[in-house]
A and B are shown apart, each in its own frame.
Chain A
Amino acid sequence: MQNDLTKSEYILKVEHLKVVSAQGAELVRDVSLKIKPGEIVGLVGESGSGKSISTMAIAGILPEGISIAQGNIFFKGQDITRITAQDRCKINGNQLGIIYQDASQSLNPLIRIGKQIDEVLKIHTNLNPKERRNRVYGTMRAVNLSDVEKLAKRYPHELSGGQRQRVLIAMAIINNPELLIADEPTTALDVSVQAQIIELIKLINFSRKTSVLYISHDFSTVKKLCDRVYVLYQGIPVEVGATTQIIMQPQHMYTKLLLESIPTPEKRGQHLMIMRARTKDYRGSATNCLFAERCPKVFERCRQELPDMYEMCDGHQAACFLLDK
């Protein structure tokens, strides 16, 4: 159809996505994002900014009562906003792999690891049991698990947190997906394991040319991993750009203050927080800049209109009236 043109250009294209709850609260207001083949894109925001809900909408796994009110999601040029469960099954686990935040809750405690990884192959491929077993072992080795024959026979509770997260990654990538969604895959892990998982995602992206959508509230991991970053505030992207642009030259006040609140060696023992605390989540539709209540540089116009995205230089955009020249 009309989207054949975009087919090769973007793996994932989200246009003006709006997600509402049954009570009419706007959880995601207006999210547009694009991911090119082979790109690692970060989605950063505080809790309640709508980053997880956006990814759930993309993966078609929105909880009961929450639905997409507006907008379209294109996966490889195909509109997947409102597809049937059957069609969804052909995409999820096959061309689209998902890693969830809590590894201990995402695995079935009663089924051996090997069998759980194998399940994805059983559903999506016609391989015979032997081929499947080889592929399971191969993928487990690819995510740096050792002694895989033994490990495959274990149950989830016999594995460490890092190992479980690797198993989840193995499940997500076993069918060589074109897009990997990683929803805060490292938050429950300690620094050393965190660093290993980030390296692993990088490696998968490099060796398999998998695009990655990485969701996190942690700038330190985003910095190491992502090519481009979307900063989300209350369901609206407020700044988009290459990771270095965002981190070195943030333009939106929210991004600036968020980066300043990270402890660094220079600020040792000093106060970090200059951003006003968030009073309450506003759930109606946005008619003015939502960050206005916390912004130190707020002026009249911010309280009256909703700012557009202003482009600074190649792809670096921010939604702030201060940039309107």
Chain B
Amino acid sequence: MSEKFHNILEINNIYASYSASLHKLEYVLKDLSLTMKPGECLGLVGKSGSGKTTLANLITGFIKPISGKILFRGQEVQDLSLRQRIRQFNCGIQMVFQDPYSSFNPKMTIGKQLMEPLLIRKSLSESEIETKARHMLEQVGLSADYFLRYPHQLSGGQLQRVALGCALIVEPCLLIADEPVSSLDVSVQAQVLDLIIDLRKEFKFSCLFISHDLAVIYHLCDTIAVLNQGSIVEQGNVEKVFRNPQNLYTKQLISDAGYSFSK
């Protein structure tokens, strides 16, 4: 595609709500705007209930906004159905979820689940897809014999690797990772973070990384957006925001996390 766009993702004045009645709306997201440049890794932080996951679901199209625009690669996508999105962008947005155990079909082998996203798209032959899936398994650091295993035979960290593989196999330009390391042990978390760093170099995707762990955000992201009660209260370069937070809420968050700099 040759259309021009500055930002890979642009969200303009979005409002979202889960309430059923239009007369009594309780907004989860209020007048939220956000932009992401190609190749950028944006960390989205906020308390539970601040609307982080709602924002992710809006971008992927699982829910529709009340009003506002979402531009993905310069095109409005907020009204497109999931099917239309696949047709138009070959699914340029992929997602990794928090709980690896509930993200997989327990009755399907790992290999089959890695192949699934490509099988749906029908652009390659089955043998080509299998070669790609086996290669992907290797890239996320798992040996070939995991191809025929079932999800229950893998640990949480290994499953989260496969989840990353499933998302990246269609070569998306935007990966949304919703708390991908929150349910993992420190050492396993470190392995998955290392993997994300390697994969970003390899695949060059933009990444919206949602987490409540500021240390992880600082480690991984270029920019940060702080969400409080459905609005973005501060956005900017990670380094700048951490060293010199402007917003009161951001200050509180950083001091609660006990994050201190040596300098």
Contacts and interface: CB of A to CB of B under 8 A. Distances in A.
Given A191-B214, A192-B47, A266 B262 contact: yes
A267 B219 CA distance: 7
Contact of A263 (B49, B218, B262): B218
B34 interface: no
A263 B191 CA distance: 11
Interface in B180-196: 185-191, 193-194
B187 A273 contact: yes
Interface string B237-263: 000001000000000110011110110
Nearest to A271: B194
A220 B215 CA distance: 10
Given A192-B256, A195-B256, A275-B187, A269 B219 contact: yes
A46 interface: yes
Interface residues of B, number: 32
A82 interface: no
A321 interface: no
Interface in B190-247: 190-191, 193-194, 197, 212-216, 218-220, 242
B48 interface: yes
A190 interface: yes
Interface in A258-275: 258, 261-269, 271-273, 275
Contacts of A261: 186-187, 189-190
A271 B261 CA distance: 19
Choose among A192, A195, A267 the residue with the greatest number of B CB atoms under 10 Å from its CB. Answer: A192
A273 B188 CA distance: 9
A138 interface: no
Contacts of B214: 191
A257 B187 contact: yes
B194 A191 contact: no
Given A161-B48, A190-B212, 16 more contacts: A189-B48, A190-B47, A191-B47, A191-B214, A191-B253, A194-B256, A195-B256, A220-B257, A257-B187, A262-B215, A263-B215, A263-B216, A263-B219, A269-B220, A273-B194, A275-B187
- For the complex of A and B, the 8 pairs showing the least CB-CB separation, nearest first, are A261-B190, A263-B219, A272-B190, A273-B190, A195-B256, A263-B215, A46-B185, A190-B212
22 contacts: A46-B185, A161-B48, A190-B47, A191-B214, A191-B257, A192-B47, A217-B186, A220-B257, A257-B187, A261-B189, A261-B190, A263-B215, A263-B219, A264-B215, A265-B242, A265-B262, A271-B194, A272-B190, A272-B194, A272-B219, A273-B187, A273-B194
Interface of B: 47-49, 156-157, 185-191, 193-194, 197, 212-216, 218-220, 242, 252-253, 256-259, 261-262
